[in-house]
Structure 1
């Protein structure tokens, strides 16, 4: 154990074996119970006189801090309040978060965390995670050792280089906050143990001139390093982190589109790794698509799918839908012809300027030669919708308002229940508002969005707007991988996760949401984890046999309650 404490799980319960005393106990958020310490524990741990006299239960603590939380004047103030609580008492933080997950998820995760990241250097308080910078690659090993964690102590590492943060772009070292927020969701939604996770930021510089010219900026103060030196830094990090924590799932977060695909493809067949922006986003959107298809009584093979924003997320969605089509017996060459992707330059066309990961979805030039266009030589979204008559329209473009009334009405004129998904975050980046889409389609559209939206009342029907939030899927993927000790994360495991989420939606009445409510996150994560572990077993990727997966996944989920105390 460390010199201060260890938490051991035995006979179905957690025990905190505490060696430190006095204020050292109160300063450690994993073993600080605050006013919940009993009189006997206070005496044994040297806390006599360091706390008010009353002994307060965890439930009473939750009521008190939740009342304080509700009095905070803004979302950013609420974020800072919760962060301070996490720094002080981790169990209390996760109990409050778990009990109020639907209300608090937009605070500790998207969209509020974007504001916190932008203010990171100015609001800096207690550092969390590991900071690695490209000017000191030889320090990676020492930094990981400084975490105090050994080879068997970490199940999950979330890492970012902060270049593609939440639609706000390059945020330099401040991106570490997204890794902390992501891990908070893993813990609250899937019960990954908070003592067995590690947030990491790879500080490779920043091209954000506002940050470089800010005297308070805390990152390395130069432009982003790219090319061979960047790749060598990533290679060294992967080698060091997998050597130090050989059992851990490595989760890549908010890398720029080109690097995200390249890094995932470089390492996915060598280590247990996963990119949430590519695979998690794809999983939850595909879940919504599968639920919508079930509602509209159509087949996936019959869909014409337009993706406006064929970047990291958009192409990831296309690939997962393509894989599911193929698994259903559709010829791959035929299936790929069901997709039309648009980048900032318009429709992806063979021979045009394409990134490597976009090329499979480029359309033949002779196919579009006879199209009716608004502007000769330009193949924009309105042109694609007019000529293709899509049944599914997905927006991952971060271009607000691009699903115009004309485009939506044109689409709706050719399909009974158009599936329309303006997914860009935050709300100000959404391609359309759900209320507008429903009005323009007479309530016929099946909708999922990236940000949370209030229900819409139209023609005596209340429409619940599904939020395609990655939190519905990535925590369960992590839990499933950890539970069965999967050696890799395969595309079919992601597909199994998507189908598990879709199958959890049983209400198909008019206006019902296409996705489960966030209040169901714990049960959804468990359902996803079982599906992922079972698929890993079928593919021979599971290194731990689960003979009773439902019970074993449930048992693996950490509960936010104070462990028993053993004073040593």
Structure 2
């Protein structure tokens, strides 16, 4: 669309929505993406999903489910640090929180976001601060990473160092997802991270939201869903994760390939069943 004005985007999507069974939003920056998606979900009776937020968050959750299976640790007890408070960073924090992960710290360019921080805050960051960072950690991302189990990078290149990973807990998990240049060079992270994932196809464990679509929309369209909820996204993440069997899991194989044909059908089936169970299916 040749506009960045939320009202114009919302009205355009509403006007063209009649023949469609769902709307996939793409490449809308924060914070306007939150308002646009919220309004369209309220005003339309079909699923509306902002891919940059929820597609990424579903695949990250799937990868973390498999990390917990591989390391035999409870995902809900992970200490997670997220770099980036844009669309993807906030969506990941919200989804992990709703899934039950209790200790999440989100960092932006000013450092850790905490309740009461004054600088560089907007209404969405303020809401996020109230449900994350339970230990009230302040300071830089390096400070936040002390004793963390998981780092999730959804920001810019070169924001953490080898020393930052060494500050993390035993068996550190690093998802450096900035693309094409990640938050730390994979060659630097490989020797010290127990598990490393990136957004790139030339390294193991590519976190790519193509794993969540088209399976999510295939399932929603199959039941003519009226909307989408968190249970549907959780079901999609769990379907992606369990495409890999227990005896196949490995540090270099925590997430299936985007070319694995089982993924789309597994996700579509799980989404359709969950839509029926949660009352969003028309048939």
Q: Return the TM-score normalized by structure 1.
A: 0.46
- The separation in 2 between residues aligned to 1:242 and 1:381, in whole angstroms, is 42
The 8 Å contact of residues 350 and 365 in structure 1, kept in 2 or not, is answered as: no
Match of 1:452 among 160, 180, 201: 201
RMSD: 2.0
Gaps of 5+ in 1: 1-201, 205-224, 326-334, 372-378, 455-464, 545-568
Which position in structure 2 is the counterpart of 1:519?
A: 259
Deviation at 1:365, TM superposition (A): 11
Runs of 4+ in 1 over 3 A off after TM superposition: 363-368, 507-512
1:277 is aligned to 52
Contact 1:251 1:273 in 2 (8 A): yes
TM-superposed CA distance for 1:401, in Å, is 1.9
Deviation at 1:256, TM superposition (A): 0.8
- CA distance in 2 between counterparts of 1:509 and 1:531 reads 21
The residue matched to 1:481 in structure 2 has which SS? helix
Other structure's SS at 2:219 match = helix
Distance of aligned partners of 1:295 and 1:365 in 2 relative to their CA distance in 1, 3 Å threshold: closer
Q: Which has the higher contact order (CA 8 A, sep 6+)?
A: 2
Task: Give secondary structure in 1 for the equivalent of 2:175.
Answer: strand
Q: Which among 27, 33, 37 is matched to residue 260 of structure 1?
A: 33
Which residue in the other structure is 2:107 paired with?
Answer: 342
Which residue of the other structure, out of 384, 391, 410, is the alignment partner of 2:144? Answer: 384
Q: Deviations over 1:358-382 (max 9, x none)?
A: 22332679944xx7xxxxxxx1111
For the residue of structure 2 that corresponds to 1:354, the secondary structure is: coil
CA deviations 1:38-58 (Å, max 9, x no partner) are xxxxxxxxxxxxxxxxxxxxx
From the superposition, tell whether residues 354 and 504 of structure 1 become closer, same or farther in structure 2 (CA, over 3 Å): same
Q: 1:487 aligns with which of 219, 223, 226?
A: 226
Q: What is the match of residue 374 of structure 1?
A: none
User: Could you report, residue by residue, the CA deviation over 1:441-497 in whole angstroms, capped at 9, with x for unpaired residues?
Assistant: 4xxx1122112224xxxxxxxxxx110110111210111111111110112111110
| Separation of aligned partners in 1, 2:108 and 2:84 | 5
- Which structure's CA Rg is the greater one? 1
Structure 2 partner of 1:421: 175
Separation of aligned partners in 1, 2:212 and 2:141: 29
The answer to whether the 8 Å contact 1:339/1:361 transfers is no
- In 1, the alpha carbon distance for the partners of 2:96 and 2:275 equals 19
Residues 161-172 of structure 1: matches in 2 within 5 Å?
Answer: none
* Distance in 1, Cα, partners of 2:34 & 2:7: 17
Which runs of no fewer than 5 residues in structure 2 stay unpaired? none
- Cα gap change, 1:478 to 1:339, in 2 (>3 Å): same
How far apart are 1:438 and its partner, in Å? 1.9
Q: What are the within-5 Å matches in structure 2 for residues 335-414 of structure 1?
A: 335-336=101-102, 338-351=103-116, 352=118, 353-362=120-129, 367-368=136-137, 379-386=139-146, 389-398=147-156, 400-411=157-168, 414=169
Number of residue pairs matched?
276
**SS at 1:447's partner residue?**
strand
Aligned mates of 1:530, 1:364 — CA distance in 2: 35
Q: Distance in 1 between matches of 2:39 and 2:70?
A: 38
